[in-house]
Structure 1
Amino acid sequence: MGTKNLFSNEAKQKIKELAEDIDIAIMETNLGSKPSHTIPMSTKEVDDEGCIWFLSNKNSEHNSYLNSDKSIQLIYSKPSDMEFMTVYGHAFITTDRTVLEKYYGKSDDTWFDGVDDPNLTAIKVIPEDAHYWDTRHGKFASLLKMGIGALTGKKQDLGEEGDLELHSPK
């Protein structure tokens, strides 16, 4: 697997591509404690700035932790396509009506009583550090290439991994 670090707009695009393709992230809050708090969350969007958006209940445990410590870790994993990403950043909770209307969908009725639910909030994650692993070829092709490599002793192109820096290197 080759290393390809991405910067600025390329990094934002890669975060968007993987987060929206994988969709479900394990959101980790209360990072300073053991154990930390983890919960699966559905990604609503990655905006043009590379910020990742979720909907959440204002009374949830993770919202409570974010109110006292903005640090957050997101772990994305799609083993079927051999795509993975970790994102560390800071999260901000909003009840801005425009934001809630933008991200609320019919499937959210499972957790909320519509967009007017007083417990509805949105979480904006601003990435500070991210890393990805992406085979580009899917699981079957990667396993086939690993087998070829084992038989021939020659390294195979299994994809790439690297850091995702939203700001250009200094």
Structure 2
Amino acid sequence: MKIAIQATEDLRRLGELLDGIETAMLTTHAADGSMVSRPLQTLAFDGNGELVFFTAADSRKIDEVADDADVNLAYADPHAQRFVSVRGRARVDRDRATIEELWSMPQKIFFPDGKDDPNLVVLRVRVRDAAYWEAAGNFVARALDFARGMLSEEPTDLGKQGRLAGSGFDSAGDAAR
């Protein structure tokens, strides 16, 4: 994933948390009100605080985003015990400069006509806010902390969690939820 310089400290931290996690689970709202998740490769975190993906114009997710642009992206790196949930608003475009910049040959599997495939669109999710959880130390240290917590009445520090504000939203209250 290409990560641009971010405008705020929270977005910079989000970029650090997402670095090395290539796949996100995108959750949208289906027409019946239920939620639907599917994996997408994150191609970039641009300087506008938007996560950028390629997707098919004829996919159901495009219709779902058109009906309700509020989405969630879930990222997980189980090996590093790092998990991130991003709330945002999605939009679709066909920006040629973005397609040219982020295109790679493996994407031809999904878009046989290459960069000019009429079904290729750019999906952007503007970060509203994010929550994260990351474990402290390596696996052995986490296991020892967990064991200590099981044997003690004192709470054990198993890692950090926090919230990060996004950009482009008047959402100071939303970030605290």
Which bin holds the TM-score, normalised by the shorter protein? 0.7 to 0.9
Letter in 2 for 1:41: L
Unaligned runs of 5+ in 1: 1-7
Q: How far apart, in 1, do the equivalents of 2:30 and 2:85 lie? A: 14
What's the offset of the Cα at 1:155? 4.1
Query: Which gives a bigger RCO, structure 1 or 2 (Cα 8 Å, sep 6+)?
Result: 1
Corresponding pairs, count? 163
1:82, 1:138 within 8 Å by CA — same for their partners in 2?
A: no
* Inter-CA distance 164–116: structure 2 relative to 1 (3 Å threshold): same
What is the aligned partner in structure 2 of residue 165 from structure 1? 165
1:98 aligned to 2:97? yes
Over aligned residue pairs, what C-alpha RMSD do you find?
2.3
Structural mapping, 1:1-170, within 5 Å: 9-30=8-29, 33-113=32-112, 114-151=114-151, 153-166=153-166
Unaligned runs of 5+ in 2: 1-6
SS of residue paired to 1:80:
coil
* Inter-CA distance 73–31: structure 2 relative to 1 (3 Å threshold): farther
What is the aligned partner in structure 2 of residue 5 from structure 1? none
Q: How far apart, in 1, do the equivalents of 2:143 and 2:30 lie? A: 35
1:31, 1:71 within 8 Å by CA — same for their partners in 2?
A: no
TM-score, normalization by structure 2: 0.80
Cα distance per residue 1:103-123 (max 9 Å; x no partner): 211221221121111111111
